Each structure stands twice: as structure tokens, then as C-alpha cells.
Structure 1
Amino acid sequence: MLKFILGIFVIFPFLASLSASVHAADVSSLDEAAVSIESRATTLRSEGIKQAFEAVILKNSGTQAALINPVVQKQLKSASSLMTQYGYFEDAGELYLKVNFDHKRIIRLLRDAGLPVWGKQRPLTLVWLVINENGEREILSDGAISSSRNTFDSQSTSRAVPLLFPLMDLDDSMKVGVNDVRGRFTDNIANASLRYKANYFLIATIEPQGAVYQYQMGLYPRDKDPQALQMTSLITSSGEAATVEDAVTAIVAATSEYYVGQYAIADSGERNTTKIAFVDVTDIKQLVAIERFLAQLSAIKSASIASIQGQTVEFNLALFGDEADLHRLMSLDPQVGAIESNNQQNLDYSSVEAVEAPQKETQIYYWKGQ
């Protein structure tokens, strides 16, 4: 009997980040997974390696559909050929098999299969969940000790989706109550969410309905569209589940699938290229850091320096997707900041004469580092 280990990917200890700017999370351990295993028998180890392989594929693609892709299924039969090392460890009296895979070959496999690749930059999601576990409705807090929280930890690990939960201290309790979450009073919840600096917040409920559990969820951006009267959910999902654990799994899966659509990038098959520039590059150490950053972005096939003028460095980029994919992905990373283009300002006037369409401006960034 094999099952996925809990807790390798840690749900974020966000107290230290409350004073920081909004940021995504860098997810580590994308090349490894661990499964519990009954013994060190060769047959069980072989099966465990396959399950660990599937877990790593899910982490790096973000979508369940990747597991049934024919190319992935073919590789599954020889999953050990992509393995770099394995080992056993014990935790709470249970034996685990930990497996590491060649990350570059995993990414190449996903590319060959035409699947999206989700890099290590992942959006941070604050979860406002009302659940009825002890005979009364309550908001699941950061300090909660419960089976549902354990399941969130497990799903966060298996899908590599960074999650955090509200403290539900006096500040939170004064702004958000159970009825706010159940009624989806988004203004109250959005206001309370600001202190956590997450990219998105999730509003969800899980409640018993006879022999099953009814769940509902909606995912919202951190900031409201200034032209909108109220916040609109990016996705919604609802349904019935046999257990609380199944409901949590469905909620996290729906969230992950949305993020895959936004931030995971498949090879378009086209030769898309663009240029970007970094300003205020003051030394070689900073330049090397920028080059390393660009090299690991899942949107970029290759990056090379086009020119260096003073403290401005321009890069030529070959892309897997399109420019929108690239800039959306870069907007997640706390190491970079974008400088808005002045192009739009130049268009905000009327003229009786025809005006040539301006050339597309190079997007300018600046390096903030760690």
C-alpha cells in the first residue's frame, strides 16, 4: 500500500512576510517526491518509483491531464531511467521511499509531450475556508490542527501550489466572520487579505449535506478592477464529495488548473522572439544573477545579451509561448520590477493628421534581487 507523503512542501509560514511587498513563492523540490512504502522489497520499490515519477510530473505540469498523456505513460514504464537517486527514511514509525529525478529530462519530457511546464515561480494563495468539523462552522485558521488542514498540506505538496491561511486573530476576526465567507462578501475579505501580501485569495465552504459534503469555492485576484463595481471571481467550482478530504482535493485541483492556464507554458511551436531590457545594472554580479534568472524561466527557450549601454542591458529572448506569457510570469517574481511604457501616454491625444503607429517598445525591468 503506497501513499503520498505529507509535508515535503511546507505551507508557507507567512508571519515573517506580513511587512513585505506582494510576492509569489519560489517552489523548491520540483525534482523529488516521496511515498510511504511497506518494505524495502524490490517490487515495492519499483512501484514506489513510478508513483514518485507521477508526483513529479504533476508538480511540474500542474495538471492531472499530464498523467494520462501517451508520452508520459510510455516513460512511466521506465521511470527509473530518469531517476538520479533514491533512499529510504522513517517518520513516525512509517517507512518512506524518496526519489530524485533528473529535472532537465523531466522538463524535456513535458515539452516533447506538448504539455505545459510550470516553473518554480508560483502565485501565493490565501485560503478563507468555512468548515464544519466539530459541530459548528468556523474559519480554518493558520494554527488549526485538523484533518482538513492536513489534507490542504498534502494537496499543496503534491501539486506544488503555495497556500497560506489567515491568523484569525483580533484583526481578522473584526473584519471577517463566518457569514462573510459563506455569503461571499468579497469587499470585507479582500480588505482583510491585504495584510497577507498574497497574489490571490480563495473563498470556500465545505459543509455536510446528509451522507456527503457540499463544497463551493471562488478564486479572486488580490486587487479589484478599478472599473468594476464589485470583485468578480476568476473561477468558481462546486459539487458533492464523499469526504472532507475529497472536497479539499477538488478545491486545490481547481485552483491549480486555473494557475496552469495562466502561468504554465507549453511550446507553441512558433519561433516567437522578443526583447527586454534591465536598467540600473551596476556590476557583473548583478548581470550574472539576471542571466540565471532568465535562464530558468519556463517561458524562455534561450536568452542572450543584445547590447549593453551604460547601466542598461538589453536581452534577445526566444520564447516557448508569447510575450504575454512571459510578462505575466515575470510579474509574479519578487526579484524583478517592471517600468510601465510611455507609449500609451503618447496615444492619448487626437490629431487631424494621420499618425504613424509607434514601434513596439521594449519592456523595461529593474533588478531587485532577493
Structure 2
Amino acid sequence: MHKLLRQGLVLQLLALVISVLVLPVQARVISDLYEVVEAVPSRGTTDRAAAGSRGLERVFVRVTGDAAIGRAPNLQPILKSAQQFVQGYRYTREDNQLYLHISFNPQAISRQVNQLGLPIWPNNRPGTLVWLAVDTLQEGRSSLSEETSPELFAVLEAMAVERGVPLDFPVLDLNDQRNMPLGALWAQDEQAAERAGLRYSPDATLMGRVLQASGRRWQADWLLVHGGRSYAFDTTGGSLEEVALRGVNQLSNILAQRYAVLPEGQGSSLGAVVIELSGVDSFADYAQVSGYLQGLAQVNSANLLSVEGDRMRVALVSSVDLSNLRDTLALNHKLQAQADGDAINLSGYRSPLGSAENPLRYRWD
């Protein structure tokens, strides 16, 4: 194998593999972005068309990551002609309520998103572990779990489906309570969250502390920890459920801003970013790495530069900035980021990160 690598013959083979093989290794793939369920009064054509318009708007929110996309003027004619995007539908009835299940065509919607110049949020999305604590006027402070607050967490799950974000919740057993005691959760202790999250391996962690200020006034402070960065925000509302829903909604907005991709030709272009991957010591590894990089929505092209031993270098051309590109790569748990090099020459010039002299370094595990 190493002889082939030294001779460079494998470069030609890998180029062929890249062009025909896409084997993405993704964090959490959302498979039902294009499926909705709408309550309808009848099976009539008019009611079905109205439900289709409402459902298509929900799909555009999920796909673009923009909760307000339905108010965009250029989308209104599209929503009125939702039937052209329908792939299939069926009816069900539950508790005397009729429901219309609609499946929309992913390819047709993607083409429309691109034509309108809207961002598109790929369906591999970070999974978020949500820790919640509440302080009520009658009962004081407590941690919340699916077992103790099933209705609240069912509402949060429904919002997660609406926005297309995967959520996980801790079981809050003795192990969780030891690693994330109520005091640490209320203080939004990042070290405690990291320790408590080891058993869940989340891509992101959201900690929320909800305070009942009065009978009809609730407020919450949130801390999202993801990709080496922390985001603090707050929400208010008239109930615990409303405040929590707004927290998940804002979480979705933050993640969409980091991962949504503008169509080619819009936004800032990085040019070529060079990454170096070690631990790629078999042809199967080379094929899988190359297919994964080529299949990323954030990457316009992935060109193999060199192979030496168990290391390969690839030039990525992307329309997202360097920080967002690194966030995307971090979603693949087989890619372990390595320390950045200190590429300083004798004159004191530091080579830019992502250049051939100072590539992004990862290990493939």
C-alpha cells in the first residue's frame, strides 16, 4: 500500500472514487423534514389545498432554518401553488379529528430554495442535550425531566420536529443528579455540563433556568454550549411551556445561522481551505473520507492534493466562512481536531490557518 502511495498511483484511483462514491458520516440525520400532518375539516379539494399551503410553509421553515420565511413576499406565490410540490398524501382520523399527512418532494423544494436564493440547512444537524430547572412560587427550585413533566417535554419535542432540530433529554437518574446537581444546573456550570454529558455524547448542550416571576409572568435564562463557544440568551412568556418553547426556537435560530448554506455565488467564498487528515491507513478509509467531504452541502468541491503514509491533504472550496466550515467538520465524530500548527517563518510571518503551510489538522478514527 505504501509503495503505491509513494508512486502516486493511488491518487488517480482516489480521484475516481471521489467522483462516484459518496459515503457520508453524519451527526444526526433528520429524515422527516419534508413530511407534515395538518388537521383538516374535510377531504375536500379546497381544504386539502389550504392544508398543503400551511404544510409547505412549515417545510420551508425547517429547510431554510428561518422561522419567519413564510412572510417573505417572493414565497407567497409558491405557497399558493403547494400542490406542485406534493409527493403523496393520506388521511387518518383520531378522536373525531381528520388529519392530512403530506409528503413533499425534497428535490423540487431544494431547487425552489436555490432559485429563490434562500439559505438551505442540510439535514445532518447537531443533537442537543437539554437540561432544565424551574423555580416556581409554590414549590421552589427543581430539575425537570420527561418523567416528572411529560406534557412539557412533549411540547418541546413537537417544537423540535417543527424546526427540524434533534433534542435529547437527560434521564435525571442518580448518576445525572450526581454529575449535574441542581445548584450546578441553576448556575449553568459548563464544567458540570461537560461531565454530565459524557454518557450522552451530545453535539451541543442547552441549559435553561426558568423563573416564575408572578402568576402570569415567566422568564428564562439559557446557555447554549456548542463547538467551543457559548451563547447566552433569555426568553419571557405567560407560562412555563411558552418560555421553554421560545428557548428551543431560539436554539434552532442559532444553529441555523451556523450551518445554513447560501446558494453558490452568494455569501463570502473561502477559496480553497487545505485540511490534513492523519490515521487514514487503508484504501477503504481514503474512500470513506473522500466521499464524506465531497458529500457535504457546505463544500462545493473537495480536491485531493497529496497522500503520504497515513496522511492525506485535501483542498476544500466552500461558500461558508472558516469558522462555520470547522463547525460542520466537528459534527462528524470520526474526525478528531488536532492542535493547529504554529506556522511562523524566520521573518515572523504566520501562515493563515487553512493554507497549504498551515492546514486544518484532523485525525480519522
TM-score past 0.5 threshold:
yes
Distance, in Å, in 1 between the alignment partners of 2:82 and 2:286 is: 38
Distance, in Å, in 2 between the alignment partners of 1:94 and 1:281 is: 58
Contact 2:227–2:327, Cα closer than 8 Å, also in 1: no
- CA deviations on 1:102-134 (whole Å, 9 max, x unpaired) are 223323333333332211222222212123689
Aligned counterpart in structure 1 of residue 232 of structure 2, from 232, 235, 241: 235
Aligned counterpart in structure 2 of residue 265 of structure 1, from 261, 264, 267: 261
Distance, in Å, in 2 between the alignment partners of 1:167 and 1:295 is: 37
User: Is 1:354 the counterpart of 2:340 in the alignment?
Assistant: no
Contact 2:29–2:124, Cα closer than 8 Å, also in 1: yes
**Match for 1:354: what amino acid?**
S
**Match for 1:195: what amino acid?**
R
**Match for 1:326: what amino acid?**
L
Alignment of 1:1-370 (within 5 A): 24-90=27-93, 94-131=97-134, 136=139, 137-221=141-225, 233-239=230-236, 241-267=237-263, 268-269=266-267, 272-274=270-272, 275-276=274-275, 278=277, 280=280, 282-283=282-283, 286-287=285-286, 289-303=288-302, 305=304, 314-342=313-341, 344=342, 346-347=343-344, 354=347, 358=351, 360-361=355-356, 362-365=359-362, 367-368=364-365
**Match for 2:158: what amino acid?**
S
The change in CA–CA distance for 1:134 and 1:63 in structure 2 (over 3 A counts) is same
Q: Residue 301 of structure 1: SS of its match in structure 2?
A: strand
Q: What is the CA-CA distance between 1:160 and the residue it aligns to?
A: 1.3
Q: What is the CA-CA distance between 1:149 and the residue it aligns to?
A: 0.9
Distance, in Å, in 2 between the alignment partners of 1:196 and 1:164 is: 8
Q: What is the CA-CA distance between 1:60 and the residue it aligns to?
A: 1.4
Distance, in Å, in 1 between the alignment partners of 2:66 and 2:166 is: 15
Q: Residue 330 of structure 1: SS of its match in structure 2?
A: helix
Distance, in Å, in 1 between the alignment partners of 2:293 and 2:227 is: 27
The change in CA–CA distance for 1:276 and 1:237 in structure 2 (over 3 A counts) is same
Contact 2:65–2:253, Cα closer than 8 Å, also in 1: yes
- CA deviations on 1:292-315 (whole Å, 9 max, x unpaired) are 433442312344556666765554
The change in CA–CA distance for 1:210 and 1:327 in structure 2 (over 3 A counts) is closer
Task: State, as a whole percentage, how many aligned pairs show the same letter.
Answer: 24
Distance, in Å, in 1 between the alignment partners of 2:134 and 2:35 is: 32
Name the Cα RMSD after superposition.
Answer: 3.3
Number of residues of Structure 1 aligned to a counterpart in Structure 2: 331
| 189-198 vs 253-262, greater mean Cα deviation | 189-198
Question: Please, what TM-score do these two structures have when normalized by structure 1?
Answer: 0.76
**Counterpart in 2 of 1:229?**
none
Contact 1:208–1:214, Cα closer than 8 Å, also in 2: yes
Distance, in Å, in 2 between the alignment partners of 1:186 and 1:147 is: 27
The change in CA–CA distance for 1:40 and 1:305 in structure 2 (over 3 A counts) is farther
Gaps (5+ residues) in structure 2? 1-25
Question: Please, what TM-score do these two structures have when normalized by structure 2?
Answer: 0.77
Q: Residue 68 of structure 2: SS of its match in structure 1?
A: helix
Distance, in Å, in 2 between the alignment partners of 1:322 and 1:38 is: 47
